[in-house]
Chain A
Amino acid sequence: MRRVMPFTIVTVTGLFMLVQYFIPREEFEWLYEWTLDWIIVIGCFAMLLGLWSMTYVSVSKVRRKIPGWGYNVITLAGLFFVLIVGFVPGQASLVRGSAFMHLFEYIYIPVQASMFSLLAFYIASAAYRAFRARTILATILLVSAIIIMLRLVPLGPLSAVNQWLANFILTVPNMAAKRAFWIGVGLGATATALKIMLGIERTYMGRD
């Protein structure tokens, strides 16, 4: 029961999802969409598991007064404050101007956008450090990146030449690289999925 059942479920659901792809009947489409709903519902319950895990780690840090525990208090305070302003007014909290949306707009969005824009700095330092013509591979990487970046720098008459080169890189070697890459990934992923579906690969689920 403990061992066999999960793998039976994997095989059955996997096979169903695979087979329905080839069956154009409406009742199968309906079953498929219903199963997609299952995934969303299970995800909701899983979310609580995550919340529990997070709260548990934070609370235990605060309790044991591990250095920096004050920050865990901030995490917990942020979490419960959002839950309160989100759930207490009900659906109304999703309307623009509510306390809940304020938290979204003035805390979540700016932090997210700032984290994202840190990448502009990181991309520069990574390029400076790693783009050295030490090996052939590094040189190829470097030259290709510079040609693409130069598109944004006005070079006078050279702009047209560079534009042509950039276009060539994007449409020929870059295209070839992507195609081969996707074919490889497609085969590798399908083989992995097949092994899981047929229960050949089982190491991802614990022992007893």
Chain B
Amino acid sequence: MDNGKSNLYDWMMNLDRRWVYLVIGVVVTLTAIAPFKVPVYVTPEVRNIYNFVESMEPGEVLMIGVDYAPEAMAELHPMNYAITRQCFAKGIKLLLCCLHQNGPGMVEQVIAQVSKEYDKVNGVDYVYLGYKPYPAITILAMGQNFRIPFPEDYYGTSLDSLPMMRNIVNFDNVQAIINISAGSATEYWINYANGRYNAKLAIGVTGVMTSDYYPFLQSGQIFGIIGGMKGAAEYEDLAEKGGYISRKKDQLTAFKSMPIQTTTHIVVILFIVLGNVGYFMSKKVK
């Protein structure tokens, strides 16, 4: 039949991969220079966590387990910041610990910045327990008493001399635990903190890991999941509406990168459609 048409279909099917790279590069760069607003659909598993923190009273304690390294920072830092800001703004106290060997730096970065913003004092408004290897044993021991694995906090002060720790013995004294993790630590939190000690637990994980943990949500072992950049953007959206973080202060990191996510996803899908249209049309022509 018509040669020009079948040439077009061939072109659609056999684009050089460099054209794909170029389009992705251009689209990402343009979106980074001139971002726009993308509506975010908030899922119930994220809203649950936000609402739980909302329902806490000033002075109550939330525990955050930070178990990720610099590689996962891009995905997990935003949710960590949003939750920490929400807590400090509401006067909720934070207990932090770390079961990933490269995690201590991550906790420090977040807590140093946010505690300054809200004028919060170490030992009074938050306590950072530090890092310990062997996550299973550490969590089991914390379920007995935080002082077993962590006789001192990260900065070397004995837990007994920290005012905030006065009435805090173990998981029974924290309202809930949120584990933000890029690896296997999450399973230990679920199996031991929730499984053994029945602690109320929610998790924030990388996009790739998200689907692995839905069964635990169904079975009620965890009460919420924040999944990757999208989950973080949902949380930031809620926190912004709640007035805890603000666009002006550049505190919506995940939300801001959502336009890049959206445009790249659209481009990828369009390329797939292009290839398939070419494929089917050329089959028809033949």
Asked if the two chains touch in their complex, CB atoms less than 8 Å apart, one says yes
Residues of A participating in the B interface, judged by any CB pair closer than 8 Å:
109, 112, 116, 120-121, 123-125, 127-129, 131-134, 142, 146, 149-154, 159-160, 163, 167, 170-171, 174-175, 178
Chain B residue numbers with a CB within 8 Å of A109 are 70
Which of B38-46, B140-148, B242-250 sits within the interface? B38-46
Q: Are A128 and B269 in contact (CB under 8 A)?
A: no
Q: CA–CA, A154 to B41, complex, Å?
A: 8
Q: CA–CA, A82 to B272, complex, Å?
A: 45
Chain A residue numbers with a CB within 8 Å of B38 are 154
One of A128, A160, A175 near B275 (C-beta < 8 A): A128
Decide if B7 is an interface residue (CB 8 Å cutoff): no
16 contacts between A and B (CB under 8 A): A109-B70, A120-B28, A121-B24, A125-B21, A127-B272, A128-B271, A128-B274, A129-B275, A131-B272, A134-B279, A146-B272, A149-B269, A152-B258, A163-B41, A170-B210, A171-B211
Q: Are A160 and B272 in contact (CB under 8 A)?
A: no
Give chain A nearest CB distance to B221 CB in angstroms. Answer: 14
One of A127, A151, A167 near B268 (C-beta < 8 A): A127
Q: Are B39 and A154 in contact (CB under 8 A)?
A: yes
One of A132, A153, A163 near B266 (C-beta < 8 A): A153
> For chain B, which range describes its interface: under 10, 10 to 19, 20 to 34, or 35 or more residues?
35 or more
Give chain A nearest CB distance to B263 CB in angstroms. Answer: 9
Chain B residue numbers with a CB within 8 Å of A142 are 272, 276
List B1-49 residues whose CB lies under 8 Å from chain A. Answer: 13, 15, 17, 20-21, 24-25, 28, 38-39, 41, 43
Chain B CB count within 10 A is highest, among A109, A120, A123, A167, for A120
Residues of B participating in the A interface, judged by any CB pair closer than 8 Å:
13, 15, 17, 20-21, 24-25, 28, 38-39, 41, 43, 70-71, 210-212, 214-215, 218, 230, 258, 261-262, 264-269, 271-272, 274-276, 279-280
Give chain A nearest CB distance to B281 CB in angstroms. Answer: 12
Give chain B nearest CB distance to A118 CB in angstroms. Answer: 9
Q: CA–CA, A81 to B43, complex, Å?
A: 51
Q: Majority SS of interface residues in chain A?
A: helix
Check A124/B71 contact, CB under 8 A, given A154-B38, A170-B214. no
Q: CA–CA, A146 to B273, complex, Å?
A: 10
Q: Are B214 and A171 in contact (CB under 8 A)?
A: yes
Check A174/B211 contact, CB under 8 A, given A128-B275, A154-B38. yes
Give chain B nearest CB distance to A114 CB in angstroms. Answer: 13
Q: CA–CA, A152 to B276, complex, Å?
A: 21
Residue of B nearest to A121 (CB): B21
Check A133/B276 contact, CB under 8 A, given A151-B230, A163-B43. yes
Chain B residue numbers with a CB within 8 Å of A124 are 20-21, 24, 264, 267-268, 271
Chain A residue numbers with a CB within 8 Å of B264 are 120, 124
Check A149/B212 contact, CB under 8 A, given A121-B20, A128-B275. no
Chain B residue numbers with a CB within 8 Å of A127 are 268, 271-272
Q: Are A150 and B269 in contact (CB under 8 A)?
A: yes
Give chain A nearest CB distance to B232 CB in angstroms. Answer: 13
One of B215, B274, B279 near A133 (C-beta < 8 A): B279
Residue of A nearest to B215 (CB): A175
Q: Are B265 and A149 in contact (CB under 8 A)?
A: yes
Chain A residue numbers with a CB within 8 Å of B214 are 167, 170-171, 175
Q: CA–CA, A170 to B39, complex, Å?
A: 23
Give chain B nearest CB distance to A155 CB in angstroms. Answer: 9
Residue of A nearest to B229 (CB): A152
Q: Are B261 and A152 in contact (CB under 8 A)?
A: yes
Q: CA–CA, A151 to B266, complex, Å?
A: 11
Q: Are B275 and A132 in contact (CB under 8 A)?
A: yes
Q: CA–CA, A159 to B43, complex, Å?
A: 11
Q: Are B15 and A171 in contact (CB under 8 A)?
A: no
Q: Are B211 and A121 in contact (CB under 8 A)?
A: no
Q: CA–CA, A134 to B13, complex, Å?
A: 12
Give chain A nearest CB distance to B244 CB in angstroms. Answer: 24
